[in-house]
Amino acid sequence: MKTMLVKLLLAVTVVCMVIGTSVYFVQANEAKAVAIVVKTVGDTQAKQQKGWAKMAKGSKLFSGDEVQTKKDGYAAVMFLDDKSVVKVKPNSILKIQGTYEGKSISKQLVMDVGELFVKVSKQKGSFQVATPTSVASVKGTEFWVMEKDGGTTIIGLEGIIELVNKATGQTGTVGAGQTGKSSGAGVIVEETKEGDIPDEGELKEEIRVRFKDADGNEKEVIIKY
């Protein structure tokens, strides 16, 4: 029976590879990893305990690890608890921080420069994105974050994002179809203009994830993004 199961899993994996679907086998809370790399394109690196190294699909990421994409680099990272996905566009530097609280991970992305697309799915724990000027707190949503020229731009696609300016303490709420801008002058929220939403580039894909939760139950999640 065990041999047949192994053969079946191998067959499914081969089929998914042929049709272009990525399959990952992960376990929540495994060695305290908080996320996994689900896609890389071009020049991407991860900084872990042994320093910077080329980032590979399937690699585990731990709290405090950094991700860097060069001018031709793209990366997609998935958190292990709620399968939230973060897409990192070229010329970006991102630190991933996560703290386990039971079965959930409280997450914070720290970005000094670059562009991110974030898709939070069935959120467990808190989720924040911090930049030099601002902190964005997320409540089950999809949005873009852009940090450049000393300011943060949030483009809401779904749900709600609370944007706080670190210098002034001013707060703005960004919803679907709205753009929040935070700089030295404070926070401004306005309607998103046509053409302002960035192109996802090389990061469109379907992921099939088979995993064991903290109770040892096997599950499968299909993520289209």
Paired sense of beta strands 206-212 and 22-27, if any: parallel
Domain that holds residue 148: 26-197
pLDDT over threshold 70, residue 78: yes
What pLDDT score does 153 carry? 96
Q: Does some domain include residue 90?
A: yes
- Count of structural domains, the chain: 1
pLDDT over threshold 70, residue 159: yes
Band of pLDDT at residue 5, cut at 50, 70 and 90: very low
Over residues 108-114, the mean pLDDT reads 95
Band of pLDDT at residue 90, cut at 50, 70 and 90: very high
Please check whether residue 73 is in contact with residue 114, taking contact to mean a CB–CB distance below 8 angstroms.
no
> Which of 75-79, 179-183, 211-215 has the lowest average pLDDT?
211-215
pLDDT over threshold 80, residue 114: yes
CB under 8 Å to 77, separation ≥6 — which residues? 35, 36, 37, 38, 61, 67, 85, 86, 88, 96
Q: Does some domain include residue 110?
A: yes
Q: Does some domain include residue 6?
A: no
Q: Does some domain include residue 117?
A: yes
Q: Does some domain include residue 167?
A: yes
CATH of the domain at 65: 2.60.120.1440
pLDDT digits (tens, 9 = 90+) for 12-21: 343 343 334 4
Rounded CA gap, 134 and 154, in Å? 10
Share of the chain above pLDDT 70, in %: 76
Q: Does some domain include residue 123?
A: yes
Q: Does some domain include residue 80?
A: yes
What pLDDT score does 210 carry? 65
Q: Does some domain include residue 109?
A: yes
What pLDDT score does 7 carry? 42
What pLDDT score does 4 carry? 47
